[in-house]
Amino acid sequence: MAFGFTNAQKARFGVKGGLNIATIGGANDANSLIGFQLGGFAEINVWKKLYIQPELLFSAQGAKFDGYYGERDYTVNLNYINVPVLAKYYITKQFSVEAGPQLGLLVSSENIEDEKSVDVGFNLGAGYNFTDNFSVGIRYTIGLTSIYDYNDYYDDYDGYYYDNRYSNNVLALTAAYKF
């Protein structure tokens, strides 16, 4: 990134926002939750068609759960400040593919206990530039860490020992404008 910032004449900045379709991986009864993301990014040319794209995004994630045995349906809301750093390659002037890690900091949560304050994921995506300034993208974030502060626990009610990892998984559809 330091190399890219020294070549500021090859950097562009922009804003982006869009729709999140999120769920919690590992939870068999989790249903998709519609959320959003909003933030900014830099697109830094490092070599020919290869760019580094750091971003700073607010992202509403989580999942919906059906209530069983007389319980009410409930929603787990997790709001993060996500910092993805992507390697972006332009296959053509209009079409690009991207991949890279993401660090998320939990800023608020609802209907969850023992949540972790840091989330790590990996992004895979593609984008299309309609003009030099306006583009759209699709990205899937695969959660690499558990959203809970524990991985192994003993269920006092059922007497079973669980080893589950519940992770954030997010499909994002975005629009971006570069300055």
Task: Check pLDDT > 50 for residue 161.
Answer: no
Tokens standing for residue 139: 């990205």
Tens digits of residue pLDDT in 87-101: 999 999 999 999 999
HSE, CB side, 13 Å, CA atoms: give it for residue 26. Answer: 17
Tokens standing for residue 120: 């790590």
CA distance 36 to 18: 6
Provide the pLDDT confidence category of residue 4 given band limits of 50, 70 and 90.
very low
Provide the pLDDT confidence category of residue 73 given band limits of 50, 70 and 90.
confident
Tens digits of residue pLDDT in 43-59: 999 999 999 999 999 99
Given this model, what pLDDT does residue 26 score? 86
Task: Check pLDDT > 60 for residue 153.
Answer: no
